[in-house]
C-alpha cells in the first residue's frame, strides 16, 4: 500500500512532534520552536510542499504562549499542513525561515509587527505594515490592545528604503501612480533606462479587518466585511471565509448553495479578467482596446446585478449557505449574455493577439521562471503562465467545482504575454462553467439554519481560487460567536514581491508599468513619479502624461 502524504509528514517529524491534530485533508503539528528551520527545510526542500503563509496568534489566554504557524500545501494530493510553534512571552523570538523560503519575507515581518514575535536572522527586518509613527512595543493583534486603540504622538521607527547599487539612480513609482488603484511605492534602481534593482513599501491603507472581526463582529456579520477586502474580487473572500467557518464547525451546506456560490465566483473571474485586459491595454497605450474590453465587461456587471442585486458587493453569503437563489425566470437571459460575452471576447482577443506592437511590448518581458514561482510563492495566472500547474479549484476542490468540467490553463512563456493569454483563456473557461451551472443548477433550499453557538477553539484552513490566485483563510473559532483568530492572505500578498524577480537585466523603465501590472496587483498608485539623481541630489517630477509617454515610446520603438 502506498504511503500517504500525511504519513510521510508524520514520519519526518515523529521524534519532534509535541501534538498532532488530524482532520480530513488537513494536519496541524505542534513542534518545538528550536526546530523551525529544520522543519521548514524538510517541508519545502525534501517533501516539496508549497509554502502558503505564516500566521501569528496571541494564544496567551489559552495556554500562556504566542503561536507562529507556517502553512504548506501539497496541491496534487489535496492536502494542507500547518506547523505550529509556541513562543513564550518572556522570549518572543523564533528563527526566520525567509533564508529558506524568500516568499515568507512579508509574512514574518507582519507577525513581528502585529504580534511582537521577532524573526531572528530575517534578511530584511524593517517594518512592513505599521506606520512610522506607531509606538514601539505596541502590537495591535495582542488581545489586550483594543480595536479602537489610538497611538499617542511619537516619532516611532522611520522606514528606510534600500540604497541603490553604486552608479544607479532611484526612481520611485508611487505611492500615487495612475497605473495602480491604491497607494503603494515601488522604488526602481536604474542605470540609464535599465532597471537594475528595486525596493517596495506598501500597506498605506491597511484597515485592520482581522482585529475588527476578532473583537467586534459575529460570524455572520463578517461575510459582508470579507467581501470588501478587495474592490474587484471580494466575493471569493466571502466564500473562503464562510467555507472555512463551516468546515471548522462541521456544517454541510445545501448543494444548490454550492452551485450558486460557484456561479458568482466565475462571474467575478470574468469581470476581473476583462477589467485587467482593458487596463493592460491602457498601460501600453492601446486605449481603444481598453474601452472595448470594458464595454464587453459591462453586461457581466449587469448580470451580477440581476443575480445578486448589486454590481460588485454581492451580499449573497452567510455561514450556512446563500441568502437567495438564481431566479429561474432570468436564466435564459443570463445564457444569452454568456453567449454574447464569449463571442465578443474571442473576437477582441483575436484582434489584440494579432497586434505586433502588443506582442513586442509583452513577449519576453517580466520573466518569472518556474523555480522563482516556487521560491516567491507566486499564485494564479502569474504562476500558471510560468508553467506551474496549480489551481485550487482542481487541486483542493470546493463548492460545486467537483461537479464541473473545466480546463486549467497553463502556459510556459513565463512573461507578460503568457499572463495575458492565461487570463484570456480562463475567461472563456469561466463562461463555459457559468453556462453549465445554469443548466444543471439543482433545486432545493440554499441555507441551513444555525441556531446554537458554534463550538469554540476549533480551527481550519481553506482556500478559493480568486481571479489573481489562491485566496487563503485560517480561522480559530472563539466564544460569543466570533472568531478567536481570523487570518486572510490574498494572492497579491505573494504576487507583488514576485515582481522584483521579474526586473531582470535588460528590463527598461518603459517595461516597468506593464511588468508590475502583469500580476494584477490589488493595490493602487497615483499621479506622478519622482526621479532622484543621487550624484547631485537634484529631483525631477514627471506628470502622469509624461510617464505614459515614456511607456508608450517603448511601444513605438
Walk me through the domains of the chain, giving residue ranges and CATH numbers: 5-156 (3.30.460.80), 161-204+491-557 (no CATH), 209-469 (1.10.645.10)
pLDDT value of position 179:
60
* DSSP assignment letter at 522: S
pLDDT value of position 230:
86
pLDDT value of position 525:
30
* DSSP assignment letter at 34: G
Residues 6 or more apart in contact with residue 377 via CB below 8 angstroms: 50, 51, 52, 101, 103, 104, 494, 498
CA distances from 550 to 37, 283, 510, 546, 556 (A): 45, 11, 6, 6, 10
- In what helix (H) or strand (E) does residue 483 lie, and over which residues does it extend? strand 483-489
User: Average per-residue pLDDT in the chain?
Assistant: 90
Note down pLDDT in tens along the chain; length 557 residues: 678 999 999 999 999 999 999 999 999 999 999 999 999 999 999 999 999 999 999 999 999 999 999 999 999 999 999 999 999 999 999 999 999 999 999 999 999 999 999 999 999 999 998 888 888 899 999 999 998 888 887 766 778 888 888 989 998 887 776 666 677 888 889 998 899 888 988 888 777 889 989 888 899 999 999 998 888 889 999 999 999 999 999 999 999 999 999 999 999 999 999 999 999 999 999 999 999 999 999 999 999 999 999 998 999 999 999 999 999 999 999 999 999 999 999 999 998 889 999 999 999 999 999 999 999 999 999 999 999 999 999 999 999 999 999 999 999 999 999 999 999 999 999 999 999 999 999 999 999 988 788 999 999 999 999 999 999 999 999 998 999 999 999 999 999 999 999 999 889 999 998 999 999 987 533 222 333 333 343 434 344 455 445 555 554 54
Instruction: List the alpha helices (DSSP H) in 309-415.
Output: 331-353, 356-362, 370-376, 380-384, 392-395
Say how far apart CA 60 and CA 354 lie, in whole Å. 60
Q: How many CB atoms lie within 10 A of CB 457?
A: 13
- In what helix (H) or strand (E) does residue 471 lie, and over which residues does it extend? strand 469-477
Say how far apart CA 405 and CA 459 lie, in whole Å. 31
Say how far apart CA 124 and CA 119 lie, in whole Å. 10
What are the φ/ψ torsions at residue 120 (nearest 5 degrees)? Answer: -70, 125
**Alpha-carbon torsion (454, 459, 465, 468), positive or negative:** positive
Say how far apart CA 57 and CA 55 lie, in whole Å. 7
In 121-271, DSSP assigns E strands to 169-173, 185-191, 194-201
What cell numbers appear for 308 in the block? Answer: 445578486
Q: Please say whether the beta carbons of 172 and 185 come within 8 A.
A: yes
pLDDT tens-digit profile of 133-151?
888 899 999 999 998 888 8
387: left (phi > 0), else alpha (psi -120 to 50), else beta? left
- The distance of Cα 414 from the centroid of its chain, to the nearest Å, equals 19
pLDDT tens-digit profile of 482-507?
999 999 999 999 999 999 999 998 89
What cell numbers appear for 167 in the block? Answer: 552608479
Q: How many CB atoms lie within 10 A of CB 371?
A: 11
Which value, to the nearest 10 degrees, does the dihedral of the CA atoms of residues 338, 340, 345, 346 take?
Answer: 100
Residues 6 or more apart in contact with residue 325 via CB below 8 angstroms: 256, 260, 446
Altogether, the residues listed in the chain come to a count of 557
pLDDT value of position 259:
98
Amino acid at each position: 500500500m502506498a504511503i500517504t502524504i500525511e504519513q510521510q509528514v508524520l514520519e519526518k517529524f515523529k521524534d519532534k512532534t509535541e501534538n498532532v491534530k488530524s482532520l480530513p485533508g488537513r494536519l496541524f503539528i505542534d513542534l518545538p520552536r528550536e526546530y523551525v528551520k529544520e522543519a521548514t527545510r524538510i517541508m519545502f526542500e525534501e517533501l516539496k510542499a508549497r509554502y502558503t503563509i505564516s500566521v501569528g496568534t496571541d494564544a496567551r489566554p489559552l495556554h500562556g504562549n504566542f503561536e507562529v504557524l507556517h502553512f504548506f500545501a501539497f496541491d496534487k494530493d489535496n492536502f494542507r499542513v500547518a506547523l505550529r510553534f509556541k513562543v513564550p512571552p518572556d522570549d518572543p523570538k523564533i528563527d526566520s525561515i525567509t533564508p529558506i523560503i524568500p516568499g515568507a519575507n512579508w509574512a514574518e515581518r507582519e507577525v513581528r509587527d502585529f504580534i511582537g514575535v521577532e524573526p531572528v536572522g530575517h534578511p530584511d527586518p524593517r517594518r512592513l505594515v505599521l506606520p512610522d509613527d506607531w509606538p514601539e512595543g505596541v502590537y495591535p493583534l495582542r488581545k489586550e490592545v483594543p480595536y479602537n486603540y489610538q497611538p499617542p504622538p511619537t516619532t516611532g521607527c522611520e522606514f528606510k528604503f534600500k540604497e541603490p547599487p553604486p552608479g544607479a539612480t532611484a526612481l520611485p513609482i508611487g505611492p500615487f501612480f495612475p497605473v495602480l488603484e491604491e497607494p503603494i511605492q515601488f522604488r526602481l534602481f536604474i542605470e540609464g533606462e535599465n532597471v537594475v534593482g528595486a525596493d517596495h513599501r506598501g500597506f498605506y491603507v491597511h484597515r485592520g479587518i482581522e482585529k475588527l472581526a476578532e473583537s467586534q463582529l459575529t460570524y455572520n456579520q463578517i461575510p459582508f466585511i470579507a467581501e470588501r477586502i478587495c474592490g474587484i474580487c471580494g466575493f471569493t473572500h466571502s466564500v473562503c471565509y464562510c467555507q472555512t467557518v463551516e468546515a471548522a464547525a462541521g456544517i454541510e451546506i445545501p448543494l444548490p448553495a454550492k452551485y450558486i456560490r460557484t456561479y458568482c465566483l466565475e462571474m467575478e473571474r470574468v469581470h476581473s479578467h476583462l477589467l485587467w485586459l482593458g487596463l493592460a491595454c491602457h498601460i501600453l497605450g492601446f486605449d481603444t482596446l481598453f474601452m472595448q474590453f470594458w464595454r464587453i465587461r459591462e453586461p457581466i456587471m449587469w448580470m451580477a446585478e440581476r443575480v445578486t442585486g448589486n454590481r460588485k458587493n454581492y451580499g449573497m453569503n452567510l455561514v450556512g449557505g446563500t441568502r437567495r437563489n438564481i431566479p429561474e425566470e432570468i436564466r435564459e437571459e443570463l445564457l444569452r449574455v454568456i453567449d454574447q460575452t464569449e463571442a465578443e471576447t474571442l473576437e477582441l482577443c483575436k484582434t489584440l493577439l494579432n497586434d505586433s506592437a502588443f506582442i513586442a511590448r509583452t513577449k519576453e518581458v517580466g520573466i518569472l521562471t518556474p523555480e522563482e514561482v516556487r521560491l516567491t510563492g507566486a499564485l494564479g495566472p502569474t504562476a500558471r503562465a510560468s508553467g506551474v500547474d496549480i489551481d485550487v479549484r482542481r487541486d483542493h476542490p470546493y463548492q460545486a467545482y467537483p461537479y464541473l468540467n473545466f480546463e486549467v490553463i497553463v502556459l510556459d512563456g513565463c512573461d507578460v504575454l503568457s499572463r495575458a493569454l492565461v487570463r484570456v483563456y480562463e475567461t472563456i473557461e469561466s463562461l463555459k462553467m457559468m453556462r453549465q451551472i445554469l443548466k444543471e443548477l439543482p433545486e432545493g433550499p440554499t441555507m441551513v439554519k444555525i441556531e446554537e453557538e458554534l463550538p469554540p477553539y476549533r480551527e481550519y484552513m481553506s482556500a478559493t481560487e480568486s481571479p489573481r490566485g489562491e485566496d487563503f483563510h485560517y480561522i480559530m473559532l472563539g466564544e460569543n460567536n466570533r472568531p478567536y483568530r481570523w487570518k486572510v492572505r490574498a494572492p497579491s500578498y505573494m504576487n507583488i514581491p514576485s515582481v522584483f524577480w521579474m526586473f531582470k537585466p535588460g528590463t527598461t523603465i518603459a517595461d516597468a508599468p506593464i511588468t508590475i501590472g502583469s500580476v494584477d496587483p490589488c493595490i493602487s498608485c497615483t499621479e506622478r513619479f519622482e526621479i532622484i539623481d543621487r550624484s547631485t541630489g537634484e529631483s525631477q517630477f514627471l506628470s502622469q502624461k509624461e510617464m505614459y509617454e515614456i511607456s508608450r515610446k517603448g511601444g513605438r520603438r
